Amino acid sequence: MNEQEKINILMVDDQPGKLLTYEAILGELGENLIKARSGKEALDHLLKTEVAVVLMDVSMPELDGFELADMIRQHPRFQKTAIIFISAVHLTDVDRLKAYQHGAMDYISVPVIPELLRAKVRVFADLHRKTQQMETLNRDLRTLSARLIAAQDEERRRIARDLHDSVGQMIAALSINNALVFQEAEKLTPEAADALSQNTALVEQLSKETRTISHLLHPPLLDQIGLLPAIKMFAEGFGERSNVKVTVDLSPEIGRLSPNAEISIFRVVQECLTNVYRHSESKTALIKMWPSEDKLLTLQVRDEGKGMPPSNRAFASAGTKQGVGLSGMRERVRELGGTLEIQSGENGTTVTASFPVANMMAVGV
Partner 1 sequence: MGTRFLIVDDNELVRRSLRAVLRTRPGWEVCGEAPDGATAVEMVRNLQPDLVMLDFQMPGMNGIETARRMLEIAPTAPIVLFTQHAGADLEKHALEAGIRSVVSKTNPSSMMGIIEALLSPRGVEQGPESSGPKSCDK
Q: Smallest gap, in angstroms, from Cβ of residue 193 to partner 1?
A: 15
CB burial readout 277-310, b (16+ within 10 A) else e: bebbebebbbbbbeeeeeebbbbbbbbbbbbbee
Q: What is the DSSP letter of 7?
A: P
- Closest to partner 1 by CB, 55 vs 227, is 227
Binding partner 1 by CB under 8 A: which of 21, 207, 258, 300? 207
- Closest to partner 1 by CB, 171 vs 342, is 171
Region of 8-16, 77-85, 226-234, 261-269 interacting with partner 1 (CB under 8 A)? 226-234
Region of 7-15, 114-122, 217-225, 333-341 interacting with partner 1 (CB under 8 A)? 217-225
Applying the rule CB under 8 A, the residues between 160 and 189 that interact with partner 1 are: 164-165, 168-177, 179-180, 183
Q: Counting contacts by CB under 8 A, is residue 213 touching partner 1?
A: no
> What is the rounded CA–CA span in Å between residue 331 and residue 329?
5
Q: Counting contacts by CB under 8 A, is residue 204 touching partner 1?
A: yes
Binding partner 1 by CB under 8 A: which of 12, 46, 82, 203? 203
- Closest to partner 1 by CB, 21 vs 210, is 210
Q: Smallest gap, in angstroms, from Cβ of residue 72 to partner 1?
A: 59
Applying the rule CB under 8 A, the residues between 253 and 312 that interact with partner 1 are: none
**Strand, coil or helix: what is 23?**
helix
- 248-to-94, 154, 205, 296 alpha-carbon distances in Å: 62, 27, 28, 19
CB 279 within 8 A of CB 240: no
- Closest to partner 1 by CB, 123 vs 174, is 174
- Closest to partner 1 by CB, 101 vs 169, is 169
Residues 6 or more apart from 348 whose CB is under 8 A from it? 280, 282, 302, 303, 304, 305, 307
Closest CA to 260 of 145, 141, 143, 153: 153
Report how many residues bind partner 1 under the rule CB under 8 A: 27
Residue type, 159: I
> What is the rounded CA–CA span in Å between residue 73 and residue 67?
10
Q: What is the DSSP letter of 226?
A: -
Region of 73-81, 88-96, 231-239, 325-333 interacting with partner 1 (CB under 8 A)? 231-239
- Closest to partner 1 by CB, 20 vs 172, is 172
Would you say how long the chain is, in residues?
A: 365
> What is the rounded CA–CA span in Å between residue 127 and residue 82?
9
Alpha helices in the chain (DSSP H): 16-26, 39-48, 65-74, 93-101, 114-162, 169-183, 190-217, 220-224, 227-242, 259-275, 310-313, 324-335, 357-360
Q: Smallest gap, in angstroms, from Cβ of residue 175 to partner 1?
A: 5
Q: Smallest gap, in angstroms, from Cβ of residue 159 to partner 1?
A: 15
Region of 29-37, 203-211, 278-286, 350-358 interacting with partner 1 (CB under 8 A)? 203-211
- Closest to partner 1 by CB, 195 vs 202, is 202
Q: Smallest gap, in angstroms, from Cβ of residue 127 to partner 1?
A: 56
- Closest to partner 1 by CB, 74 vs 166, is 166
Region of 58-66, 147-155, 224-232, 283-291 interacting with partner 1 (CB under 8 A)? 224-232
Applying the rule CB under 8 A, the residues between 232 and 261 that interact with partner 1 are: 232-233, 236
Long-range contacts of 32-36 (CB under 8 A, 24+ apart): 32/6, 32/7, 32/8, 33/9, 34/8, 34/9, 34/10, 35/11, 36/10, 36/11, 36/12
- Closest to partner 1 by CB, 114 vs 229, is 229
> What is the rounded CA–CA span in Å between residue 344 and residue 115?
55
Q: Which residues of the chain form contacts with partner 1 (CB under 8 A)?
A: 164-165, 168-177, 179-180, 183, 203-204, 207, 211, 220-221, 224-225, 229, 232-233, 236
